[in-house]
Amino acid sequence: MDTAQLVEESFENVMLRKDEFILEFYDDLFKMAPAVEPMFRNTTKEKQGQKLYNSLVILVENIRNPEAIQEILEPLGQDHVGYGAQLAHYPVVGECLINTISKLNGDQWSSDHEQAWLNTYQTVVDLMT
Ligand code: HEM
């Protein structure tokens, strides 16, 4: 299976359990990086989680279309400068994201899925920063 297939396949389990994904992700993030929690004071986990989730859906839908991904993620990255996001924040967000996706995949998760998401997340970071 190639990266795109591995990402698509494992994301299906996220789409089936969206609410759990959102809550798990932010619980994990605020535990791992308490310093970022105040950055989200103008929103709620549910609202912000829905936006993050929507951007992941678009990412996965366009996983075979790098130009479309670039057009979306470059401006999103610019907006993040205004939100106070720094380069140093991206690794912990990636770790929590992949950790949460892996949990929702249970025993269907493999080291190939892990590697596919690590590669995909690196592409996202490269475009956003
Ligand atoms: C995979 C990487 C990321 C994705 C896909 C992502 C996605 C998003 C999206 C879609 C929004 C909403 C934008 C809007 O309303 O126009 C957002 C807002 C935000 N993001 Fe991210 N983000 C990522 C990484 C990060 C990182 C590393 C940080 C730093 C801790 C961060 C902090 C924030 C903050 C503070 C907001 C604004 C919340 C608010 O007040 O509404 N994000 N993000």
Residues 62-80 have pLDDT tens digits of: 999 999 999 999 999 999 9
Give me 100's structure tokens. Answer: 């949460």
How remote is the CA of residue 39 from the centroid of ligand 1, in Å? Answer: 10
Q: How many CB atoms lie within 10 A of CB 64?
A: 12
Q: Determine whether the shortest distance from the Cβ of 113 to ligand 1 is under 6 A.
A: no
Q: Is the dihedral of CA 37, 12, 19, 110 positive or negative?
A: negative
List, in sequence order, the alpha helices (H) in the chain.
3-16, 18-32, 45-61, 66-82, 90-105, 111-128
In the three-class reduction of DSSP (H, G, I as helix; E, B as strand; rest coil), residue 115 is classed as helix
Per-domain boundaries in the chain: 3-128
Residue carrying structure tokens 């996220």: 14
Homologous superfamily (CATH) for 3-128: Globins (1.10.490.10)
Residue 123: what pLDDT? Answer: 97
- Give the pLDDT confidence of 24-63 residue by residue, as tens digits: 999 999 999 999 999 999 999 999 999 999 999 999 999 9
Residue 62: what pLDDT? Answer: 97
Q: Determine whether the shortest distance from the Cβ of 42 to ligand 1 is under 6 A.
A: yes
Instruction: Please give the model's pTM, rounded to 2 decimal places.
Output: 0.95
The rounded distance, in Å, linking the Cα atoms of 78 and 87 is 12
